[in-house]
C-alpha cells in the first residue's frame, strides 16, 4: 500500500513523547503513589457516596464499607507518622542549634525515642497500606449520566437488513466441516480446549480481515503499531484489568511478574506509562494488530460454539488519547470510533445492532461503552463483534500519562503544576473469530457454499 505514508502525517506527534523516568529503587514507591492518588479521589467527602452508588449500579463484588474502614485507618496512621516526623525534625534542629550539653543530650534521647516510635508505626502501616492499595485498585470509573441503568442495553440503531432466505441456514460449525475450514480436535490435542486451527480459506480470511481493518483505520488517521504480547502485570492492573485478581483473567508467566496480553489496548496504553505529551499533539490515535490471550472462568461461554469464545484470538484494536479541556474530546473520539466500527461492519454486509451498554455490563475502566452485535443466522442470534469504551482519565491517572499546553524541560517535571491527565478511548476494529462466524453464516448460499464481500479482496 504505497499511499499509507500520506496518512501518517497527522499522528507524527508520537516523536514528541517525553518520559518521566524513575530509578528502580523509587519506581515501586512512585507506582504506589499513583495508585493511591488515583484511588483515593473516589473516597473523598465529595465523592464517596457517588462511588458507593457506582459500585452498586455495576453490581461489583466490593466490600465498600470495609474499604472505607481501611482508608480511614490508613489516614490515621499517615497523620500520626507525619506528626512524629515533624517532631523529630524539630528536635534535630534544636540539637544542631543548641550549645548546652544537657539540653543536647535530652534532644538526642528524644530523637531516638521518636525514631523507635516511627519504626513501629511504619511497620504497622505497611500491611495496612499494601492491603488498601490492592483493594482500592478495584474501584471503577464513574458512569456517564446517559448510560442505561441495570442489565438491559439501549438499542441505538440497526446496520444493514437481515438477509431473506428460502432455506434453513447452516451454522459455522457445519460450514466449517463442509469446506474443511477449522480443526478443533487437533488443536485440543496440541493446546487444550478453547483453541483452534484455521485452515485453507479460513486462514486466508483471517489475514484479509486483519489487512482490511488495519487499512480502514490507517485511512481514518490511526497510526499503526506492532505491540508485544507479554506485558508486566502491573500495567494490566493499572489499565483496570486486574491480572492477579481472583477472576484469573489472564495467563500468568511462571516465576515472573508478567502475563500474556488480553487485548492490544493494554500494551498501547503501557507505551505511554509515566509519559507526557503536548496538547498540540492530541488526539493521538493508534491501531494495532495483536493476539489476545484470555482465561475464561467457570462455565462462561460453554455451548456458544467452539470458535465463539476461545482462549486465543486475533484482533485489530483502536486506541486513542485526548485532551480534556472542554470535557467533550474523549466523547467525540468515542463517537468517531463507533462510526468507524459501523462503517466496517456495514461494508462487510453484516446485519448488526448498535447498543448503548448498561451499567452492569460496563468494564471497570469504562465510563461509557457501545457494543455492536452481528446477526449470526446459523446460530440464530446476535453476537458481539466490536466494543468501544471511553475510559476518561481512569487509566491515565493510574499509568501517570499527562499533557500540558507547552513543553517543559525534564528538570521541571516535579515542580510544574500544569500537568493534566489525558483521556483514553479504546475500541475493536475487528475481532477475527466472531467476525469470521458472522461472515460465513451471513453470506452462505442454499447449496452450502458462501461468498465474501468484495472489500476483503479475497477470491475463493
For residues 315 and 431, is the Cβ–Cβ distance under 8 A? yes
Angle ∠(112,117,120) on CA atoms, nearest 5 = 130
Please give the C-alpha separations between residue 368 and each of 143, 327, 352, 364, in angstroms, as whole numbers.
Answer: 7, 14, 20, 10
CA distance 348 to 345: 5
The answer to the question of whether 359 is labelled as a binding residue is: no
The answer to the question of whether 435 is labelled as a binding residue is: no
The answer to the question of whether 387 is labelled as a binding residue is: yes
The answer to the question of whether 263 is labelled as a binding residue is: yes
The answer to the question of whether 132 is labelled as a binding residue is: no
The answer to the question of whether 68 is labelled as a binding residue is: no
CA distance 441 to 198: 16
The answer to the question of whether 49 is labelled as a binding residue is: no
C-alpha 145: how far from its chain's center? 21
φ, ψ dihedrals at 346, nearest 5°: -65, -45
The residues facing 381 across adjacent strands are 376
Q: What is the secondary structure of 340-372 as a DSSP string?
A: HHHHHHHHTT--EEEEE--GGG--TT-SEEEEE
φ, ψ dihedrals at 458, nearest 5°: -105, 125
The answer to the question of whether 312 is labelled as a binding residue is: yes
Burial of 148 (0-12, 13-18, 19+ CB in 10 A): middle
The answer to the question of whether 370 is labelled as a binding residue is: no
The answer to the question of whether 317 is labelled as a binding residue is: yes
Burial of 174 (0-12, 13-18, 19+ CB in 10 A): middle
Query: Which H/E stretch holds residue 67?
Result: helix 64-97
The torsion region of residue 134 among left (phi > 0), alpha (psi -120 to 50) and beta comes to alpha
C-alpha cell at 237: 492492573
The answer to the question of whether 410 is labelled as a binding residue is: no
Residue 443: other Cβ atoms inside 10 A: 16
For residues 122 and 21, is the Cβ–Cβ distance under 8 A? no
The answer to the question of whether 386 is labelled as a binding residue is: yes
Nearest to 34, CA basis, from 45, 20, 47, 48: 20
Residue list, annotated binding site for L-serine? 263, 294, 317, 426
Binding residues for ATP: 294-296, 310-313, 384-387
Annotated binding site: 263, 294-296, 310-313, 317, 384-387, 426
Amino acid at each position: 500500500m504505497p499511499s499509507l505514508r500520506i496518512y501518517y502525517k497527522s499522528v507524527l506527534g508520537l516523536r514528541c513523547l517525553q518520559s518521566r523516568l524513575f530509578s528502580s529503587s523509587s519506581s515501586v514507591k512512585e507506582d504506589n503513589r499513583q495508585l493511591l492518588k488515583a484511588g483515593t479521589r473516589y473516597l473523598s467527602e465529595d465523592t464517596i457516596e457517588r462511588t458507593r452508588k457506582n459500585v452498586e449500579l455495576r453490581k461489583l463484588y466490593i466490600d465498600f464499607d470495609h474499604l472505607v474502614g481501611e482508608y480511614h485507618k490508613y489516614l490515621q496512621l499517615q497523620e500520626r507518622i507525619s506528626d512524629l516526623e515533624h517532631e523529630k525534625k524539630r528536635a534535630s534542629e534544636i540539637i544542631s542549634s543548641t550549645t548546652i550539653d544537657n539540653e543536647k543530650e535530652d534532644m538526642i534521647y528524644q530523637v531516638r525515642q521518636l525514631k523507635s516510635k516511627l519504626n513501629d508505626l511504619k511497620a504497622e502501616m505497611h500491611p495496612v497500606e499494601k492491603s488498601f492499595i490492592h483493594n482500592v485498585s478495584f474501584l471503577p470509573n464513574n458512569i456517564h449520566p446517559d448510560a442505561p441503568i441495570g442489565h438491559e442495553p439501549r438499542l441505538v440503531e440497526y446496520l444493514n437488513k437481515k438477509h431473506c432466505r428460502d432455506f434453513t441456514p447452516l451454522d459455522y460449525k457445519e460450514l466449517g466441516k463442509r469446506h474443511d475450514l477449522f480443526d478443533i480436535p487437533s488443536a485440543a490435542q496440541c493446546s487444550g480446549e478453547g483453541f483452534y486451527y484455521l485452515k485453507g480459506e479460513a486462514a486466508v480470511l483471517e489475514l484479509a480481515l486483519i489487512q482490511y481493518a488495519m487499512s480502514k483505520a490507517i485511512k481514518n488517521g490511526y497510526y499503526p503499531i506492532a505491540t508485544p504480547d507479554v506485558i508486566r502485570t502491573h500495567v494490566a492492573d493499572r489499565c483496570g484489568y486486574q491480572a492477579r485478581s481472583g477472576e484469573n483473567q489472564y495467563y500468568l508467566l511462571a516465576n515472573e511478574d508478567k502475563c500474556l496480553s488480553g487485548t492490544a489496548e493494554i500494551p498501547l496504553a503501557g507505551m505511554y506509562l509515566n509519559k507526557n505529551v503536548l496538547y498540540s499533539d492530541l488526539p493521538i490515535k493508534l491501531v494495532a494488530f495483536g493476539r489476545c490471550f484470555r482465561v475464561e472462568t467457570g462455565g462462561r461461554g460453554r455451548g456458544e460454539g467452539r470458535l465463539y469464545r476461545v482462549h486465543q484470538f486475533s484482533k485489530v484494536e483502536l486506541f486513542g488519547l485526548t485532551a480534556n479541556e472542554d470535557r467533550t474530546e474523549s466523547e467525540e473520539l468515542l463517537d468517531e470510533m463507533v462510526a468507524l466500527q459501523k462503517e466496517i461492519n456495514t461494508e462487510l454486509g453484516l446485519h448488526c445492532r448498535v447498543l448503548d451498554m448498561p451499567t452492569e455490563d460496563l468494564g471497570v475502566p469504562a465510563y461509557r461503552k457501545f457494543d455492536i452485535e452481528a446477526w449470526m443466522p446459523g446460530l440464530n442470534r446476535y453476537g458481539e463483534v466490536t466494543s468501544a469504551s471511553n475510559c476518561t482519565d481512569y487509566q491515565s491517572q493510574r499509568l501517570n500519562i499527562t499533557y500540558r499546553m507547552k513543553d517543559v524541560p525534564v528538570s521541571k517535571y516535579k515542580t510544574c503544576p500544569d500537568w493534566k491527565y489525558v483521556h483514553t478511548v479504546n475500541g475493536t476494529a475487528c475481532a477475527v473469530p466472531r467476525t469470521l462466524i458472522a461472515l460465513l453464516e451471513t453470506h452462505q448460499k442454499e447449496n452450502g457454499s458462501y461468498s465474501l464481500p468484495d472489500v476483503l479482496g479475497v477470491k475463493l
